[in-house]
C-alpha cells in the first residue's frame, strides 16, 4: 500500500452553459462530447473552489483541520501567477501555521502530481495530508479550448489507513510540445490543433503510465483526463479499459474540461458512486501522464456538490467571466490597505469573533468597547460556526454598488446585502454581522431565512484580491 484516502470533497459552481448556447452564438460548438459545462461565478476562482472542496473533504473524513500536517494545492490556472496560495487556503480551512505546504501548477497533470507528493509525505513523516485540485481553464472565445473549459475542484484527505487504498502508481513522459500550452504573460490557453499529433501524444503517454502498473484485475471505473468528451474514449485502448469503464467515472459531459481537477473530480465521482476498483490517469501536455489504482470497500466518505442550478445564455456567460464588462471606476472607493486587511483575516476567513471578559457577550469584529457592557478589554477569540438568520436585507443593483464592488456587480448582476444574526459556538447566542450574498439571486434572501457562510472573492485593489466570507441560503 502506498497510502489511503479517508475522505473526499468535490465542488462545481452552480452556473451552467449548454453546448446549444455556444452553437447559437458561434454557429458551431468545438467541444465534442460536452453537453454543458460548469462556469465559475464572478466572485469565484480556483482558490475559492479549492476552499469549497477542502472543507467538504475534511468534513467527510471527520478530521480536525489542525491535525493536517501537509497541504498540496494544484491548479493549471491559479488566481495569481506568483504567490504561495497555500498560505491563504490553509488559513481558510483552519490548518496549523506550521503545516508543510506545496503548490503544483503549469500542467493539467498538476492534480495527480499533488497526490504523488502527498503520498511521498506520508511515507516520510506526515500523518495526515490534504490534497486539493481546483481549476477553471480559459481559451480564446472561438477556440475549442474555451468551448470545453469548465470549472470545479476535488479534495482528498490522505492518511496511512483508510477505506480507499492507493495500491499502485506509475508515470511516463516523452516530449510532445505544442499539444496545449499557455505562454508567459498570456491569459488564454492555446493548442495547435494537429489532431493526429494530439492523439498520439495522449495515447502514448497514458499508455506508458498504465503499463507501469501492476493490475491484478480490470478496474470497474476509469477516470481519464478529459480535455473534451471524446479524447478519453479514444485513449481507452492505450489505457487498457473499455468505454463503459470511462463512462462510469466521466464528469466532462456535464462539467466540461476541468484542467488539473479533471481526474481528481472524476475520481471523487467514482468513489461517491461506490466503485471498488478505480483507475486514474492524468495527462499533461508536453507530454506526461500519471496513473494510479484505487481499491475500496465501497464505503468511502464523500461530500459532493457537483449539481448545477442556473443556466446561462452566452451573453451572461461572457459577463460572468468579465469579458464584456469594464474595470472599476477611478477613485471614490473605500481603500483598505493590504496590511489592514491582513490583520482582519481571522475574521474574514474563519469568522473569529471575540468574547467580552467581563460580561461574556460576543463582538464581531473583536475590537473596540463591548457593545453590551462598554468594557474596553482584550477579547477572548471565538470561532463562529458560520450559520445564522437574516435580520435585514436589500438588493444592490446597477449603480448602487460602492466603487470597489462595481466590477463584480457588473459581472454578476444584482446581489443581496444583509445584516445577519450569526450563531455562537453552542447556538444559544448570536452576533449581528453585515454580509454580501452569493450563490443565489437577491430574491432568494429574505428576512428570517437561514443562511450559511462560505468564502469568495470580495474585490481587487492594487492587484491584490481580497477574499472573505459571504452568505448563501442554507442547504
Helix (H, G, I), strand (E, B) or coil at 447: coil
pLDDT tens figures, 11-25: 999 999 999 999 999
End-to-end CA distance of the chain: 37
Q: What angle do CA 209, 211, 215 make, to 5 degrees?
A: 110
**Position with higher pLDDT, 328 vs 200:** 200
Q: H or E segment at 392?
A: strand 387-396
Work out the average pLDDT over 254-267.
Answer: 98
* Closest residue by Cα to residue 206 from 178, 232, 243: 232
What phi, psi does 124 have (nearest 5°)?
A: -85, -100
pLDDT band at 1 (very low <50, low <70, confident <90, very high): very low
Whether residue 375 is predicted with pLDDT greater than 60 in this model: the reply is yes
How far CA 459 is from CA of 118, 334, 402, in Å, comes to 32, 11, 11
* Closest residue by Cα to residue 321 from 43, 20, 22: 43
Residue with cell 450563490: 439
* Closest residue by Cα to residue 183 from 224, 149, 140: 140
Residue 23: CB atoms within 10 A of its CB come to 14
* Residue 442 DSSP code: G
Instruction: State how far the Cα of 132 lies from the Cα of 310, in Å rounded to an integer.
Output: 25
Residue 337: CB atoms within 10 A of its CB come to 11
Q: Is 62 exposed, middle or buried (0-12, 13-18, 19+ CB in 10 A)?
A: exposed
CB 137 within 8 A of CB 105: no
Whether residue 332 is predicted with pLDDT greater than 70 in this model: the reply is no
Whether residue 326 is predicted with pLDDT greater than 70 in this model: the reply is no
Instruction: State how far the Cα of 189 lies from the Cα of 149, in Å rounded to an integer.
Output: 10
* Closest residue by Cα to residue 126 from 145, 96, 93, 99: 99
Q: Is 332 exposed, middle or buried (0-12, 13-18, 19+ CB in 10 A)?
A: exposed
Work out the average pLDDT over 26-55.
Answer: 95
pLDDT > 90 in the chain, percent: 79
Instruction: State how far the Cα of 283 lies from the Cα of 286, in Å rounded to an integer.
Output: 9
Helix (H, G, I), strand (E, B) or coil at 408: helix
Instruction: State how far the Cα of 35 lies from the Cα of 51, in Å rounded to an integer.
Output: 27
**Dihedral Cα 317, 142, 465, 81, nearest 10 deg:** 150
Whether residue 329 is predicted with pLDDT greater than 60 in this model: the reply is no
Tell me the CATH number of domain 4-320, given options 3.40.47.10, 3.20.20.70, 3.40.50.880, 3.10.20.30.
3.40.47.10
Q: Where are the alpha helices (DSSP H) in 327-453?
A: 338-343, 345-350, 406-412
Instruction: State how far the Cα of 314 lies from the Cα of 18, in Å rounded to an integer.
Output: 9
Whether residue 27 is predicted with pLDDT greater than 80 in this model: the reply is yes
Whether residue 330 is predicted with pLDDT greater than 80 in this model: the reply is no
What phi, psi does 420 have (nearest 5°)?
A: -120, 145
pLDDT tens figures, 92-124: 999 999 999 999 999 999 999 999 999 999 999
Work out the average pLDDT over 202-228.
Answer: 94
Q: Give the least confident one: 67-71, 248-252, 335-339, 444-448.
A: 335-339
Helix (H, G, I), strand (E, B) or coil at 394: strand
Instruction: State how far the Cα of 389 lies from the Cα of 97, in Å rounded to an integer.
Output: 32
Whether residue 398 is predicted with pLDDT greater than 80 in this model: the reply is no
Any long-range contacts for 322-329 (C-beta under 8 Å, 24+ apart)?
Answer: 322/42, 322/407, 322/411, 323/141, 325/407, 325/410, 325/411, 326/407, 326/410, 327/407, 328/403, 328/404, 328/406, 328/407, 328/459, 329/403, 329/406
Whether residue 193 is predicted with pLDDT greater than 90 in this model: the reply is no
* Closest residue by Cα to residue 295 from 310, 318, 321, 277: 277
Average pLDDT value for the chain? 92
**Position with higher pLDDT, 328 vs 157:** 157
Q: Looking at mean pLDDT, say which of 178-187, 252-261, 409-418 comes out highest.
A: 252-261
**pTM attached to this predicted model:** 0.94
* DSSP labels, 107-158: STTHHHHHHHHHHHHHHHT-SEEEEEEEE---B-TTSHHHHHB--EEEEEEE
What is the predicted pLDDT for the residue at 325? 64
CB 31 within 8 A of CB 227: no
Instruction: State how far the Cα of 305 lies from the Cα of 11, in Å rounded to an integer.
Output: 5
pLDDT band at 186 (very low <50, low <70, confident <90, very high): confident
pLDDT tens figures, 275-312: 999 999 999 999 999 999 999 986 899 999 999 889 99
Instruction: State how far the Cα of 273 lies from the Cα of 275, in Å rounded to an integer.
Output: 6
Delimit the CATH 3.40.47.10 region(s) of the chain.
4-320
Whether residue 192 is predicted with pLDDT greater than 90 in this model: the reply is no
What phi, psi does 158 have (nearest 5°)?
A: -105, 130
Amino acid at each position: 500500500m502506498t497510502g489511503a484516502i479517508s475522505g473526499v470533497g468535490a465542488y462545481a459552481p452552480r452556473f451552467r452553459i449548454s453546448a446549444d448556447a455556444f452553437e447559437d452564438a458561434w454557429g458551431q460548438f468545438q467541444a465534442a462530447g460536452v453537453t454543458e459545462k460548469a462556469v465559475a461565478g464572478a466572485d469565484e476562482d480556483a482558490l475559492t473552489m479549492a476552499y469549497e472542496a477542502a472543507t467538504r473533504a475534511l468534513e467527510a473524513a471527520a478530521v480536525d483541520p489542525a491535525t493536517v500536517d501537509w497541504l498540496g494545492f494544484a491548479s493549471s490556472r491559479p488566481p495569481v501567477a506568483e504567490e504561495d496560495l497555500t498560505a491563504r487556503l490553509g488559513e481558510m480551512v483552519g490548518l496549523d501555521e506550521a503545516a508543510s505546504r506545496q503548490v503544483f501548477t503549469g500542467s493539467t497533470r498538476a492534480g495527480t502530481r499533488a497526490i504523488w507528493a502527498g503520498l511521498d509525505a506520508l511515507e516520510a513523516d506526515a500523518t495526515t495530508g490534504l490534497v486539493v485540485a481546483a481549476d477553471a481553464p480559459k481559451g480564446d472565445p472561438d477556440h475549442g479550448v474555451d468551448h470545453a473549459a469548465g470549472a470545479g475542484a476535488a479534495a482528498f484527505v490522505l492518511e496511512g489507513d483508510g477505506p480507499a487504498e492507493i495500491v499502485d502508481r506509475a508515470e511516463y513522459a516523452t516530449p510532445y510540445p505544442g499539444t496545449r500550452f499557455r505562454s508567459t504573460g498570456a491569459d488564454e490557453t492555446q493548442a495547435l490543433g494537429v489532431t493526429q499529433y494530439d492523439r498520439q501524444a495522449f495515447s502514448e503517454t497514458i499508455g506508458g503510465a498504465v503499463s507501469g502498473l501492476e493490475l491484478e484485475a480490470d478496474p470497474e471505473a476509469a477516470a481519464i483526463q478529459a480535455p473534451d468528451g471524446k479524447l478519453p474514449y479514444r485513449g481507452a485502448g492505450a489505457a487498457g479499459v473499455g468505454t463503459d469503464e470511462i463512462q462510469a467515472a466521466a464528469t466532462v459531459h456535464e462539467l466540461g474540461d476541468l484542467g488539473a481537477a479533471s481526474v481528481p473530480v472524476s475520481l471523487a465521482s467514482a468513489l461517491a458512486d461506490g466503485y471498488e476498483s478505480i483507475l486514474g490517469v492524468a495527462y499533461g501536455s508536453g507530454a506526461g501522464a500519471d496513473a494510479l489504482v484505487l481499491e475500496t470497500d465501497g464505503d468511502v466518505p464523500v461530500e459532493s456538490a457537483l449539481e448545477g442550478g442556473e443556466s446561462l445564455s452566452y451573453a451572461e456567460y461572457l459577463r460572468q467571466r468579465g469579458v464584456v464588462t469594464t474595470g472599476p471606476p477611478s477613485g471614490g472607493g473605500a481603500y483598505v490597505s493590504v496590511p489592514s486587511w491582513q490583520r482582519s483575516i481571522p475574521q474574514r476567513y474563519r469568522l473569529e469573533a471575540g468574547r467580552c471578559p467581563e460580561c461574556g457577550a460576543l463582538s464581531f469584529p473583536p475590537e473596540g468597547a463591548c457593545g453590551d457592557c462598554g468594557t474596553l478589554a482584550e477579547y477572548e477569540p471565538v470561532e463562529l460556526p458560520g450559520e445564522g438568520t437574516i435580520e435585514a436585507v436589500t438588493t444592490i443593483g446597477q449603480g448602487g454598488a460602492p466603487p470597489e464592488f462595481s466590477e463584480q456587480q457588473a459581472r454578476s448582476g444584482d446581489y443581496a446585502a444583509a445584516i445577519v444574526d450569526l450563531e455562537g459556538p453552542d447556538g444559544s447566542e448570536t452576533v449581528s454581522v453585515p454580509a454580501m450574498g452569493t450563490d443565489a439571486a437577491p430574491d432568494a434572501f429574505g428576512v428570517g431565512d437561514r443562511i450559511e457562510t462560505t468564502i469568495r472573492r470580495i474585490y481587487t485593489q492594487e492587484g491584490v484580491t481580497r477574499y472573505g466570507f459571504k452568505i448563501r441560503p442554507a442547504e
